[in-house]
Amino acid sequence: MNKGNVVDMKYYSLNKHSPVVDFKEATIRGLAPDKGLYFPSIIPRIDDSLLLNIENTPNEEIAFKVIMPFVGKTITPEKVFEIVSETINFPIPLYQVNKNIFSLELFHGPTMAFKDVGARFMSRCLGEFVKDAAKKVVVLVATSGDTGGAVANGFYGEDNIEVVILYPSGKVSPVQEMQLCALGKNIHALEIDGSFDDCQSMVKKAFSDTDINKNLFLTSANSINVARWLPQQFYYFFAYKQWKEKEHPPVIAVPSGNFGNLCAGMLAYCSGLPVHHFIAACNANDAVAQYLIKGIYYPKPVKHTFSNAMDVGDPSNFVRIMELFENDHKQLLKITSAFSISDEDTMVTIKKVFHDQQYTLDPHGAIGYMALEKYLESNPGLKGIFLETAHPVKFPGIVEKACGIKIKLPSQLETLMQQPKLALAMKAEFSVLKDYLMGI
């Protein structure tokens, strides 16, 4: 891993068989031609003065300083400042739940889950990059839930970009569905009569279809895109900004599925952000947790759990984590521990924290909380933060059952649920999708 000053950031493919590219190319492509994930050629060093003055530095300025080395010369500094300011124009508070445990609330954005930041940043960067594209630009995604909403919201109203989202009929929650279907304008929701895998396979076929690619400039907005991954570093700086005991940096627990969020935190740490230890908080999908514990990695079939945004059997960002720690299990273990938490324990934790602390967790945050608590129990004297990645109202069934109360929809969601549903029902057949895309 190269550290140091960045003059002109390049990205290489982790499969090592594609040319290096700049931030613009990496964002437009998503994956490298050899199907590898892009990785920054240099890990920038954070200015000590930023860390020393962080409490008095506005969030936009922190975000700007963190992201600028990664953007390089592909967008002007003025425009980058404007983009990050829009990306994070909502609160990201650190809430003290009990003596030793704090919650970094990442659910105050428009779709009430942490993916808003990455999606908003990426959509604005892509908007800059395709301003003078010769073909119509279409972002094509399949979603099983949260990603689609964050992408739809992030790209809503973006000039020159159409967004087509496929979702499996009846398999996303009512709120998630309306987050895709209430917007209209440049957001096209396709309700597929099939499973998430059907949606994904239709999208894959579209990407390799010659006719479609002749007509349109197709791109994806999935979570491995550098423009979605890198801005997640902001959370960790905002956490540190609000952390009172700077001389004792926090333990940070991250509810993890595809491991993009945790990997962004580790990148911030490698750039110089003080963190005492990371906790990879997993549900029953524990491939990475098992690797950390046993040193052997093997992907597993997906198990469905209450924390469905973390149901990933073979997390994409694992390779980025390994690259950051030079493929050295021991180096990674020094700074990271992992816990796998069951659905049963998720319920117990939501109930316990609601009754003891009057704080309502969502199932993902509950896994972060419990993993952190376990670590602190065996390492007394430390304090930590878990990332609360979604608002509990997004998972009303589970949270109401655990707490024994009815949770009220915030007014923002009530309004959303009363909108007309603008979705086009479609058979799970590629030819139908192709006709649709050719006519867009």
Pairing label, strands 277-282, 251-255: parallel
Question: What x-and-dash track marks residues 193-232 binding ligand PLP by CB under 6 A?
Answer: ------------------------------x---------
For ligand PLP, which is the closer residue by CB, 261 or 305? 261
Stretch that binds ligand PLP, among 79-87, 169-177, 257-265, 293-301 (CB under 6 A): 257-265
Minimum distance from residue 228 beta carbon to ligand PLP (Å): 9
Separation between Cα atoms, residue 263 and residue 318, nearest integer Å? 8
Separation between Cα atoms, residue 149 and residue 392, nearest integer Å? 16
Backbone angles phi, psi at 113, to 5 degrees: -145, 160
Q: Which of residues 108-127 bind ligand PLP (CB under 6 A)?
A: 113, 115
For ligand PLP, which is the closer residue by CB, 250 or 257? 257
389 binds ligand PLP (CB under 6 A): yes
Separation between Cα atoms, residue 242 and residue 317, nearest integer Å? 27
- Kindly tell me the sign of the dihedral angle through the C-alpha atoms of 340, 346, 350, 355: negative
Cα separations in angstroms, 398 against 53, 305, 371, 414: 41, 11, 19, 19
260 binds ligand PLP (CB under 6 A): yes
Q: Which of residues 43-102 bind ligand PLP (CB under 6 A)?
A: none
- Kindly tell me the sign of the dihedral angle through the C-alpha atoms of 12, 17, 19, 24: negative
Q: Report the first-to-last Cα separation within the chain, whole angstroms.
A: 44
Stretch that binds ligand PLP, among 80-88, 253-261, 411-419, 420-428 (CB under 6 A): 253-261
Q: Which of 59, 87, 123, 258 touches ligand PLP (CB under 6 A)? A: 258
Which bin fits 52, alpha (ψ -120 to 50), beta or left (φ > 0)? alpha
364 binds ligand PLP (CB under 6 A): yes
Q: Which of 310, 376, 399, 428 touches ligand PLP (CB under 6 A)? A: 310
Q: Which of 87, 256, 283, 337 touches ligand PLP (CB under 6 A)? A: 256
257 binds ligand PLP (CB under 6 A): yes
Residues that bind ligand PLP (CB under 6 A): 113, 115, 146, 223, 255-261, 309-310, 364, 389-390
